[in-house]
Chain A
Amino acid sequence: MSVAPLSPAELHAEARAARAERRRLLLRSPGVLIGAAVLLFWIACALLGDRITPYDPIFDQSEDVFASPSAEHWLGTDRLGRDVFSRVLAGSRDILLVAPAATLLGTALGTALGLLTGYLRGIVDDVLSRLIDAVLSLPLIVIAVTAIAALGTRSATTVVIVIGAVFAPIIARTVRAAVLAERELEYVRAARLRGERAPYVMFVEILPNVMPVIIVEATVRLGYAVFAVASLTFIGFGIQLPSPDWAVQIADNYQFVDPAWWTVLFPAAAIASLVIAVNLVSEGLQQAYER
C-alpha cells in the first residue's frame, strides 16, 4: 500500500510519535535496559576504582595464595595472594578507556575516508577501495599483532592507535556505501547545480544524512573494540601488567586454571558481561534507528 498523503498537522504528530516510539523501543526493551545497567555498573567501578574494593587490587598481597572462594575472599585469591573480587571490580578501567578511544579514533578517520572516497569516486576511490579490500582480507587480530610487533612497543596507547587504524577502513567502507547511495539522490545534484563546492556538499549536505549510519556503526565497532582489546591483551600484546585488567589477570593465572579456576573464571565472566552489555545496547540502537 502506498503511503497516504497526510495533513501537515498529522505529519507533525506522526514525526513526534515516531520519535516517541523510538524512545519507547529503547527504554522498554529488556535487552537494552539490562545492557545499559551492566555497562553503567562497570563504568561506575572504573570511576570509583580502589575506593570501593575491599582490598587494594594490586598491592594487597597476602601469604594466602590460590585461596579458594571464602567469606574473607569472596572470589578467592590469585597466585600472589591478591583478592580476586577486588581485582575484578578494578579490572574494567583500562579496557573502558582503551576500547572507546580506539573506536573514536577509527570512527573519525573512517568517516573522513568514507566521505572522500564515496563522494569523489574516480581514481582515488578505486585505489583506496582496493587497498581497503587488501587490508580487510586479514583478520583484525592478525593485523594488530603484526603491527604491534613491528612497532616493537606493547602498551595501551599502541593498541588504541593500531585498532583505530584498522577500524578506519572498515568504518570507511560502511560510510562510503551510505555516501554512494546518498549522492545519487537529487538534492545533491541540486546543490551542485547551484554551484556548491565539494566540501560544502560533503559536510553540510551529505554528512548529516549519513550520521545515523555512523552512530550505529560506531556502537557496533565499540563492541568489537572491547573484543579485540581483550583478545590482544590476553596474548600479551595489549594492556600490560601491573594493570588489574581482566584479560591481564586471565593471561597471568591461566596456567594455574587447574585447580585455581576462580582466578580466571570470574574475570572471564566479567569480560563476557561487558561485551554482551555493549552489544545489547548497540543492537537496541540499531533496531530503533532502522524503523
Chain B
Amino acid sequence: MLRYVLKRLALALVTLVLLSVVVFATAQLLPGDVGRKVLGPFATQEAVDALNREIGADRPVAVQYLDWVGGILHGDFGDSLALRVPAGPLLWDAFVNSVKLAALAFLIVVPLAILGGVVAGLFAGRLPDRAITLTGISLTVVPEFVTGIVLIIVVGLWLGWLPITAEAPEGAGVLVQLEHLVLPALVLALVLFGYIARITRAGVVEALEADYTRTAYLKGLGTWTVIRRHVLRNALLPTIAVVATQLGYLFGGLVVIETLFNYQGMGRLVFNAADQKDYPLLASGVLLIGAVYLAATLAADLLYAALNPRIRYRAGE
C-alpha cells in the first residue's frame, strides 16, 4: 500500500511538472512577441520592447520558465499585466469564491446522482432506468450556459424564486450569499448529474451480473441484503473515482457559469485574463486549475485504493 501511495505521488508530481511546461508553452511562448500582442499592431517598436523588458519577456525561454516556476514555489505568482498588481491575492480570492460555488454544487449533485444511478441500475432496461438515463444524458450534454439561461428565465424571471446574479450585495449575510449561489450551483449540478449517474448505473449493472452476486442469491440472502452487501459495495467503488475527477472538470464549467452569472471566481479570472491578454495571470490561473484537478484525482486514487482490498492488500504481501 505504501508503495502504491508513493508511486501515485511521484506520478502526480511528474504530471504536474509536465503540466507547468505545457501551460508555460501555451500561455507564454505561443503568443510569440508578448509585447506586440498586448499593445497591438499600431504601437511603436520602442514601446513594445520596453514592455517586453519590463515583464522579462526578452530573456531566454528557459530562464523565463524557471523564474516563473521558482516564483510559484515561493508563493509568488507573478504580476498581472492588466491590473499591475501581484497575481497571488487575485488568484486566492477567486479560488475561494470558486470553491464555495463548487462545494455547493457537489453537495447538491452527489447524493442525487448516486441515488439516480443506483435506481437506474437496479431497474436496468425498465421505465425508471430509461427516464433517469435520458434525463441524465440530456442534462449532461447541453452546455452550461444554455441550462443556465433557461433556469434564469424560468426560475429567476418568471417564477422569481431565486436571484439571477451570483454576487450578493455588499455586506449581505451568509444566507443571502447562499441564496445567490443556488442558481449557478444548480446549473453545475445538472450538468454533472448525468455523468455521475451513468457511471454509478454501469457499476450496479456489472455487479448485478457478477458471479459473486449469484453466489449471494443462492445462499438464500434476501434481495435487499444482496444489493446492500454485495452489489453496492462493489458498484460504488468506481463511482468515487469519477466523482473526484468531476471536481476537476467542474472548474472548466466555471469559466462559462461565472461569466454568465457575473461571479468573481477562477473561471471569471481566467476568462478576463485571456480576454485582456494578461498572459502572466492567465498562466498562473490555468496552472492552479490543473493543480486542483491533479490533487482531486490523486485523492480519488488514494481513496479508491484505501477502499479496495485488491489494492490495499496485494497478493503475496
Contacts and interface: CB of A to CB of B under 8 A. Distances in A.
Interface of A: 31, 130-131, 133-135, 137-143, 145-152, 223, 227, 230-231, 234-237, 247, 250, 254, 257-259, 261, 264-265, 268-269, 271-272, 275-276, 278-280, 283
A275 B26 contact: no
A236 B141 CA distance: 20
A142 B270 contact: yes
* Residue of A131, A264, A268, A276 contacting most chain B CB atoms (<10 Å): A268
B142 A275 contact: yes
A234 B146 CA distance: 10
B210 interface: no
A3 to B, nearest CB: 17
A279 to B, nearest CB: 4
B199 to A, nearest CB: 15
Interface string B8-39: 00000011101101110011001100000100
Nearest to A235: B259
Given A137-B294, A142-B255, A272-B142, 14 more contacts: A131-B18, A138-B252, A139-B248, A142-B270, A143-B286, A149-B273, A150-B279, A231-B143, A231-B255, A234-B145, A258-B164, A264-B149, A264-B153, A276-B141
A234 B143 contact: yes
B216 interface: no
Interface in B151-195: 152-153, 157, 164
A257 B146 CA distance: 13
Given A149-B275, A223-B141, A276-B141, A137 B15 contact: yes
B153 to A, nearest CB: 5
B271 interface: yes
Contacts, number: 153
Contacts of A265: 149-150, 153
Given A152-B37, A152-B277, A257-B149, A142 B289 contact: yes
A137 B19 contact: yes
Nearest to A246: B146
B251 interface: yes
B297 interface: yes
Interface in B225-252: 248-249, 251-252
Contact of A138 (B37, B137, B290): B290
Contacts of B275: 149, 236
B314 to A, nearest CB: 22
| A-B interface, 7 closest residue pairs, ranked by CB to CB distance from nearest | A139-B252, A149-B274, A150-B30, A134-B18, A134-B19, A279-B141, A137-B293
B258 to A, nearest CB: 10
B157 A147 contact: no
Contacts of A135: 19, 22
B31 A143 contact: no
Interface residues of B, number: 51
27 contacts: A130-B14, A131-B22, A135-B22, A138-B252, A138-B289, A138-B293, A139-B248, A141-B252, A142-B286, A145-B274, A146-B286, A149-B31, A149-B274, A149-B277, A149-B279, A150-B27, A150-B31, A150-B279, A247-B143, A254-B260, A258-B157, A265-B149, A268-B145, A269-B150, A271-B142, A276-B138, A276-B142
Contacts of B294: 137
B157 A235 contact: no
B144 interface: yes
* Residue of B252, B256, B279 contacting most chain A CB atoms (<10 Å): B252
B282 interface: yes
B277 A250 contact: no
Contacts of B26: 143, 146-147, 150
B271 A145 contact: yes
Contacts of A257: 149, 152-153, 157
Contacts of B131: none
B151 to A, nearest CB: 10
B27 A230 contact: no
A138 B19 contact: yes
Contacts of A234: 143, 145, 256, 259-260
Contact of A139 (B137, B141, B251): B251
Given A146-B23, A250-B145, A257-B149, A235 B286 contact: no
B28 to A, nearest CB: 8
A135 to B, nearest CB: 6
A257 B153 CA distance: 8
A283 B137 contact: yes
Interface string B92-104: 0000000000000
A254 B149 contact: yes
* Residue of A140, A147, A275 contacting most chain B CB atoms (<10 Å): A275
A31 B134 contact: yes
Given A237-B274, A276-B138, A139 B253 contact: yes
Nearest to A140: B252
Interface string B125-139: 000000000100110
Contacts of B142: 227, 271-272, 275-276
Contact of B255 (A141, A259, A264, A272): A141
B297 to A, nearest CB: 7
B29 to A, nearest CB: 8
A217 to B, nearest CB: 15
Contacts of B19: 134-135, 137-138
Nearest to B145: A234
A265 B147 CA distance: 10
Contacts of A268: 145-146, 149-150
